Amino acid sequence: MQSNSGVLELFLNSIGIAPVSYLNDYRIRAAAKMLLQTNDSIMDIGEKCGFSSNSYFGKVFRESLGCTPKEYREKF
């Protein structure tokens, strides 16, 4: 059985990014799609995509896509 650090190293070597970054990327892509395809509130979309905090969702979204979820929805 591998230690957590061994699994982390395997993930980093295979995918090229940390598991948390990979997961956040996946969640942000799902959220961006939902922002364009639904009328769900931004808070609901954040929760559906696994973000327990609306402020953290906004922070990660902005870091990833360069704008807030609201700006993204209005822009596209």
Q: How far is 21 from 43, CA to CA, in rounded Å?
A: 21
Q: How far is 19 from 56, CA to CA, in rounded Å?
A: 17
Q: Which CATH superfamily is domain 17-75 in?
A: Homeodomain-like (1.10.10.60)
Lookup: tokens for 23: 């997961």
pTM of the predicted model, to two decimals? 0.86
Quote the DSSP letter at residue 67. Answer: S
In single-letter form, the type of residue at position 76 comes to F
pLDDT tops 70 at residue 1: no
pLDDT tops 70 at residue 2: no
Q: What are the pLDDT digits (tens) for 9-66?
A: 999 999 999 999 999 999 999 999 999 999 999 999 999 999 999 999 999 999 999 9
pLDDT tops 90 at residue 3: no
